[in-house]
Amino acid sequence: MLMGSFNSSHLQQQEEQVPLEDQQEDHPHHNYQLPNISNISDLQLYHHNHHHLHAHQISHQPFVMPRGLMTTSPTHMRQLLITCAELISQLDFSSARRLISLLSSKSSPFGDSTERLTYQFVKALSLRLNNPNPSSSAALTTAATAAASSSSNYLLLEEEDDNNNEEALHSCYLTLNRITPFIRFSHLTANQAILEAIDSSHHSIHILDFDIMHGVQWPPLMQALADRSYNSDRTVQHPPPMLRITATGHSLTLLLKTGDRLLKFANSLGLAFHFHPLVLNDAVRPSDIISPSTLGLLPNEALAVNCVLYLHTLVTDDSRELSLFLRKIKSLNPKVLTIANKEAYHNHPLFFNRFVEALEHYGAVFDSLEATLPPNSRERQAVEDVWMGREIRDVVGAEEGRRRQRHEKYETYWEVMLRRAGFENVALSPFALSQAKLLLRLHYPSEGYQLRIINDSFFLGWQNRPLFSVSSWH
């Protein structure tokens, strides 16, 4: 088992053993007053009941700040962010600009979780106003441009060259993996599912890993494969299996670096190891590489397919490509398919709905970071700006085909898609559950993290909101 020799520093040691290289004019219309709202759910209900009935009225009414509402309490700040998103959805860009100006004065990348969350969402809303949807009407484009260009204290979007840089994102991924439990939880649980699906009788194991990043998932699995070739007295029971990893990514250079690190670690364990990189780009779709010949599958080789935080990148308005991808994976007859996804619905066609969902999701993430990291943490700042800020700007600022962060929820989407492709859910074991609990207790000792089991799958969240899900299929 993966954690047969687990102790308080096991995961940390395995990851560290692989060296890491390298004021627009006001209009004379009626004042728009906020309803009596105490939380986000109330505002969502208000929007649902009144938005479509009164959009023609509200869209012509300038925003007036209600007295006493401009405070820094989390509830009020989030209400104002939602109001700003509603104004944008109603094409009231002048009012939205004025509210963004007020929100930016109350936000900071160095403040508390509410100030930092507001800072990132103001940047995303600014992006949306500066870059209206190309398919929108001429009135939308003209209004948004005028609102953006006429502002004297409008928070402009910063240059994002570094954020779009593959190296910078990979570096930030390592920090995210270190300071939050979500990625390590996903890797740990997926690895245990692989070990339980491929027992020690297999002499050759092939892992197809989509978007391997730095490969930090695999050293603990390598260690476990080596360990279970020994008896309890550390005498050799049988030779460890040969391990092959076929890994996809967008940069051949980064893939090769990852392969070199994993090879060095495998050699230190006496584990036969082969690494095959596959670069995916606009010309090579994921489904194009899924064939026995392309992957070089060998007879009597146990195959595991790993999709940790990957499948959402295949979600589009047309589900045929994703369905094809899953059916092709199923045709390979893998011993196990491991899935990890964000528990969020960031693929709603309406901007306002996506915004509210994103605010709830990332609000919980920022709160968890606030509770588990010291004040003024540079690592937290980097993760929130480079990684999470990029995601927020994509969900909120981009539109239609330009959006990449199209997360869907497990029970309403992924479970359905996987079953349609012919997969059956494999229950994660009690041992996997105990490992996940131990990981949280030893490395992230906060009562705010909640681990739940739904439909034989694991859900890790903050307080009462699930944020990530992990499941196993065959």
Q: Is the model's pLDDT at 346 over the cut of 90? A: yes
Cα–Cα nearest to 51, from 299, 406, 355, 364 = 355
Domain-located, residue 30: no
**Do 321 and 199 lie in a common domain?**
yes
**Do 172 and 120 lie in a common domain?**
no
Work out how many domains the chain is built from and give that number. Answer: 2
Domain-terminating residue out of 402, 417, 432:
402
Q: What is the pLDDT of residues 376-433, one digit of tens each?
A: 899 999 999 889 999 999 999 887 667 888 999 999 999 999 999 999 999 999 999 9
Which pLDDT value is given to residue 147? 37
Q: CA torsion, points 155, 59, 393, 39, in degrees to nearest 10?
A: 100
Domain-located, residue 134: yes
Domain-located, residue 105: yes
Q: CATH no. for residue 414?
A: 3.40.50.150
Q: What is the pLDDT of residues 294-324, one digit of tens each?
A: 999 998 899 999 999 999 999 988 889 999 9
Q: How confident is the model at residue 249 (pLDDT cuts 50, 70, 90)?
A: very high
Domain-located, residue 379: yes
Q: How confident is the model at residue 1 (pLDDT cuts 50, 70, 90)?
A: low
Task: Residue 377: give the domain boundaries.
Answer: 40-158+350-402
**Do 202 and 271 lie in a common domain?**
yes
Which pLDDT value is given to residue 398? 80
Domain-located, residue 453: yes
Tell which wins on pLDDT, 55 or 375: 375
pTM higher than 0.85 for the full model?
no
**% pLDDT > 90, the chain:** 61
Which pLDDT value is given to residue 64? 53
**57-78 burial, b if ≥16 CB within 10 A, otherwise e?**
ebeebbbeebeeeeeeebebbb
Domain-terminating residue out of 381, 402, 423:
402
Distance separating alpha carbons of residues 294 and 38, to the nearest angstrom: 56
**Do 236 and 269 lie in a common domain?**
yes
Asked if residue 322 lies in contact with residue 311, where contact means CB atoms within 8 angstroms, the answer is yes
Domain-located, residue 288: yes
**Do 173 and 293 lie in a common domain?**
yes
Domain-located, residue 24: no
**Do 416 and 395 lie in a common domain?**
no
**Do 177 and 319 lie in a common domain?**
yes
**Do 445 and 305 lie in a common domain?**
yes
Q: What is the DSSP secondary-structure string of 315-381?
A: --SSTHHHHHHHHHHHHT--SEEEEEEE------SSHHHHHHHHHHHHHHHHHHHHHHS-TT-HHHH
Q: Which of 102-116, 144-158, 345-359 has the lowest mean pLDDT?
A: 144-158
Q: Average pLDDT for residues 327-354, to the nearest whole number?
A: 96
- Would the CA dihedral through 164, 382, 156, 135 be positive or negative? positive
Domain-located, residue 179: yes
